[in-house]
Amino acid sequence: MSSRDINRANFINTKLLGRKREPIDVRSEEDPEIENIMKTVETETIIDREEVMEACVKLLNEPLHVLDKDFAAGGLTFAFNSSMPPQMVALDASQAWIVYWIANSMMMIDPSLLTNEIKRKIVRKLFLMSKDNGPFGGGESQLPHIASTYAAINALALCDNIDNCWNKINRDAIYKWLLSLKQPDGSFTTCNPIGERDTRGVYCALSIASLLNIMSDELTEGVVEYLQQCQTYEGGFGATRLGDEAHGGYTFCATASLVIMNKLNSIDIEKLMEWCAARQCTEEMGLCGRSNKLVDGCYSFWVGGTAAMLEANDYHGCLKKEALRKYILNCCQSKTGIALRDKPGKNGDFYHTNYVLLGLSITESKFYYHGDDKTNRTPFDILSKSLSVKEVPSGLAFINPVYGIPNESLQEFHEHFI
Amino acid sequence: MFDIEDYKDVEPLPLTQDVTNEEELCRIMYCDEYKQVMALMRRMISKDELSVRALRLNSRAIELSPAFYTAWNYRFRIIEHLLKEETQLQGEGHDASYMLNKELDWLDEFTLNNPKNYQIWSYRQALLTQLYPHATFSREHPIMDLMLDDDSKNYHVWSYRKWCCAHFKTYGQEMAFTERFIKRDVYNNSAWSYRFSMLKHSDVDLDQELQFVLDKIEYVPQNISTWNYLGGLLQMMGTSDKLVEQLLQFSKKYIDESAFAYEFYARMSKLSGTANGKDVAQMYSHIADIDPIRDQWWNRKSLQADQGK
Ligand SMILES: [Zn+2]
């Protein structure tokens, strides 16, 4: 290709692709150059993206923002010291999640925010959500749920075994219950009898079991085969093996599950990398969760965490961390209310605060395995160190991409159950 | 209709936070009705009351808290029980479909008012698999159509539709169905993914399918959905010399306006042997220039090509 061609392609890529255009079906005869350039058809996808892109580009043109830790910490501390407004009733069945999101965000920003008093309150609240100290439901008197149990165990891991709370966890009951959720096809249902059977259930089950050291062949039987069937022609993973669309959340769940079982090699890794790389949006710089969908801060973890696990396994280069970091810092910080958000124009919330912070930590870290023994690797051998970044580092805790919690808490929790 | 007077004999079962004065972490300030309805439902669950009035209370609870999965599970048990009762009353062989249709009607209306909720879909699946052997696929069409009309990329609806096809073993209309969405928005990746998963169940001629996606690429060359689909299709069809040559010439037409086309062209060049490792490596280096956000990825591909991988 001549340099003229490169310049032209460059011009098209940076200036024109994705711009709003009227549908052009008739080829213009006067100017074939323009005719080609005009080939972005205005559809819902393009109109929606155009709007987001405009808002992002405006913020991205500003100098790199700094993470406003004080503001974020203030909101999180406030949340743990006051009642939640009535509209939070929408999360009535996700109370273990709320606790995990807030506590984890605090731990990443500054572990001293999570005082012993708060830890005791967390422990008290979580055990109210369970009849027999595990498994856990979404709130008091609710049925046990695999996602609630996942969130509760993660939250307990942050509590430093205060008042010996880790010994209270009923591992036997959790193990038996996990087995009861196992499906013949290798997946797990989230709840009995009505629940979703998909890769999310698999990840929650394996995360819980590996943390509590209750993994068994019976639990993992058929799981690898199930996950293999969930990888799609695009390279990412869908919810089920029927061929659902590749999606950031499910791709994370599948990849983390494989890493827990040390079976990453059983899937098409190159395709997975290609899919992850394709999630980064050129103009917005952040990540989207599916092809032709909008950028969203939470995929900084779902897709960013997938890329981090790949990186630890020596599969480098599917993410431009510096660019993602810029999206997070310039576009995901909200000046009012809860600190971090999905994208400009949205309000912040606890879910996005947690996953955007996890993503930010990933963009400032390098991931690798401790030790050279590839056959006996466990997810607890994944370590990270600082990556040199532009301007001020955010100074968040190092996190483990498989479990989404700070590495220090993870190691302590894990060692407790060996 | 739901009337709180019907539950006068039920003693509300309070939460711990209602009886102790302790300041519980992240305590939600429930409104009075919510508190009341949930406390009644908790008691009825604990007594395992599976009655018509329990169903009415349950409907109210679900309206107030659509994501409350415990209520959905309770609802399933109630319906299951009422159905058994009805069958016993009417004698074996009695068709209780009308009851289930009534339940599906309720669910349809609820779904329209709560398009983002996803408990509805697993609840629906459980009804159809465990309680309703006479269900039909056509009964499921209108609600899915309405939902996709509202959000053409609703993950749960596409997934549910796929599940329905497998459940009812009916795949006849699916290719035409996706075409409707692709016509409306050629970038709709949910429609493309769905179409791909249906290929193996349809009698569509793969050459014809190839032409279909090539036409859509010609219509808009810079579209990741169509190029990915083409890649998937190629893997399915096998890389015969003729096909590779055709796609080499095809992708070449668009390399100036689409990084996806360029990448495909590089792949075809390698497959066809028209370019050696060095040439292909150079192509990937070029893509790194025109698609700088992924330059590390393209440089990796370039290095691999250079090393003959
Ligand atoms: Zn999000």
Residue A82 has pLDDT above 60, yes or no: yes
pLDDT of A345 reads 96
pLDDT of B106 reads 96
CB proximity A80 to B under 8 Å: yes
Query: Which amino acid is located at A257 in the chain?
Result: S
- Check residue B276 and report its DSSP letter: -
pLDDT tens-digit readout, A393-413 = 999 999 999 999 999 999 999
Residue A35 has pLDDT above 70, yes or no: no
Q: CA of B13, closest CA in chain A: separation in Å?
A: 10
Residue A171 has pLDDT above 80, yes or no: yes
In sequence order, the β-bridge partners of residue A144 are A137
The answer to whether the Cβ–Cβ distance between A13 and B290 falls below 8 Å is: yes
Chain B hits for A75, CB-CB cut-off 8 Å, are none
CATH code that applies to domain B1-133: 1.25.40.120
3-state helix, strand, coil in chain A (%, to 5): 50, 5, 40
pLDDT of A350 reads 97
pLDDT tens-digit readout, A335-365 = 999 999 999 999 999 999 999 999 999 999 9
Q: Please, are residues B157 and A244 in contact by the beta-carbon 8 Å criterion? A: no
CA–centroid distance, residue A264 to ligand 1 (Å):
26
Which residues of A belong to the active site? 247, 290, 293, 296, 298-299, 342, 349, 352
Q: Share the mean pLDDT of chain B.
A: 94
Domain boundaries, given as residue ranges, for chain B: 1-133
Q: CA of B293, closest CA in chain A: separation in Å?
A: 6
Strands A197-198 and A188-189: antiparallel
In sequence order, the β-bridge partners of residue A340 are A333
Backbone angles phi, psi at A69, to 5 degrees: -65, -40
Q: Please, are residues B262 and B248 in contact by the beta-carbon 8 Å criterion? A: no
Best CA proximity match to A111, nearest among A405, A315, A402, A415: A405
Reading the block at residue A187, the tokens are 């997946």
In sequence order, the β-bridge partners of residue A260 are none
For tokens 């006849």, what's the residue? B172
pTM exceeds 0.90 for this model: yes
pLDDT tens-digit readout, A209-238 = 999 999 999 999 999 999 999 999 999 999
Q: Which residues contact B195 (CB under 8 A, 6 or more apart)?
A: B174, B175, B178, B179, B182, B229
Interface ipTM:
0.96
pLDDT tens-digit readout, B50-69 = 999 999 999 999 999 999 99
Q: Please, are residues A2 and B253 in contact by the beta-carbon 8 Å criterion? A: no
Instruction: Find, in chain A, the residue whose alpha carbon is nearest to that of B162.
Output: A242
CB proximity A349 to B under 8 Å: no
How many CB atoms neighbour CB A418 within 10 A?
6
Q: Please, are residues A418 and A120 in contact by the beta-carbon 8 Å criterion? A: no
pLDDT of B20 reads 86
Residue B103 has pLDDT above 60, yes or no: yes
A208-231: buried (b, 16+ CB within 10 Å) or exposed (e) per residue? Answer: bbbbbebbeeebbeebbebbbbbb
Q: Please, are residues A39 and B254 in contact by the beta-carbon 8 Å criterion? A: no
Q: Share the mean pLDDT of chain A.
A: 92
Q: Is the peptide bond before B221 cis (omega within 30 degrees of 0)?
A: no
